């Protein structure tokens, strides 16, 4: 689907305030230099953008407001099968806010969030993908100040931990058994 000028105006207005009412949007979305779009026309455009997969309404979280910490994990994998295994294991992890396949020295980048730096260290030491088969090299970069985006699409508060998807089972983990970790499903 190609975006036209009206679609761009709608997306820009929703980026600034995703809860903007249709009557407010009709004041700022123009179909010509002097003529604004009707709220009915805007609603149809929004529906079209959603149905085409361009727009998704979701709750994003400000990790600074929660005083959470984050890191980026860069991984060089042995082969493409190992890349696919890591993607399958961690794409639904509640701690992972970014999972991207990249080209260059590394094959994957993961953005990971935790309540504290200690929680992130335990994640790397016990649960993180750096402990998995097929990793040739990894680098960890702790974020000191996340500037943009301010809000991240986090799935922190889901009903159950996704620990089984990554292959780590909390009941077999010394950090969990010692009381140093509550598991990935508890934020």
pLDDT single digits (tens) 142-171: 999 999 999 998 887 665 544 455 666 677
pLDDT for the residue 162: 46
Closest by alpha carbon to 141, among 149, 130, 152?
130
pTM above 0.85, yes or no: no
CA 146 to CA 97: how far, in whole Å? Answer: 13
Residues with Cβ within 8 Å of residue 8, at least 6 apart in sequence: none
- Domains of the chain by range and CATH? 5-51 (1.10.10), 69-177 (3.30.70.920)
Q: Extract the tokens encoding 50.
A: 């959603």
pLDDT single digits (tens) 25-73: 999 999 998 999 999 999 999 999 999 999 998 888 999 999 999 999 9
pLDDT single digits (tens) 65-109: 999 999 999 999 999 999 999 999 888 888 899 999 999 999 999
- Element (DSSP H or E) covering residue 147: none
- Element (DSSP H or E) covering residue 13: helix 5-16
Strand arrangement of the beta sheet that strand 108-114 belongs to? 96-101, 108-114, 69-77, 135-142
> Helix, strand, or coil here: 87?
helix
Q: Extract the tokens encoding 143.
A: 């974020």
pLDDT for the residue 67: 95
Chain position carrying tokens 């953005």:
111
């Amino acid at each position: 689907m190609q975006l036209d000028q009206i679609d761009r105006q709608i997306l820009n207005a929703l980026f600034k305030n995703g809860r903007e009412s249709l009557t407010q949007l009709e004041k700022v979305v123009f179909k010509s230099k002097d003529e604004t779009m009707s709220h009915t026309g805007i609603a149809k455009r929004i529906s079209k953008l959603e149905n085409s997969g361009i727009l998704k309404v979701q709750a994003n979280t400000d990790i600074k407001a929660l005083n959470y910490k984050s890191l980026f994990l860069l991984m060089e994998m042995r082969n493409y099968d190992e890349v696919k295994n890591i993607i399958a294991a961690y794409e639904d992890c509640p701690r992972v806010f970014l999972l991207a396949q990249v080209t260059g020295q590394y094959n994957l980048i993961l953005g990971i969030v935790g309540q504290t730096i200690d929680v992130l260290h335990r994640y790397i030491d016990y649960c993180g993908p750096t402990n998995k088969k097929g990793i040739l090299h990894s680098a960890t970069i702790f974020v000191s100040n996340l500037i943009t985006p301010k809000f991240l699409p986090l799935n922190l508060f889901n009903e159950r931990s996704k620990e089984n998807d990554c292959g780590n089972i909390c009941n077999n983990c010394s950090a969990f058994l010692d009381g140093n970790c509550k598991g990935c499903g508890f934020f």
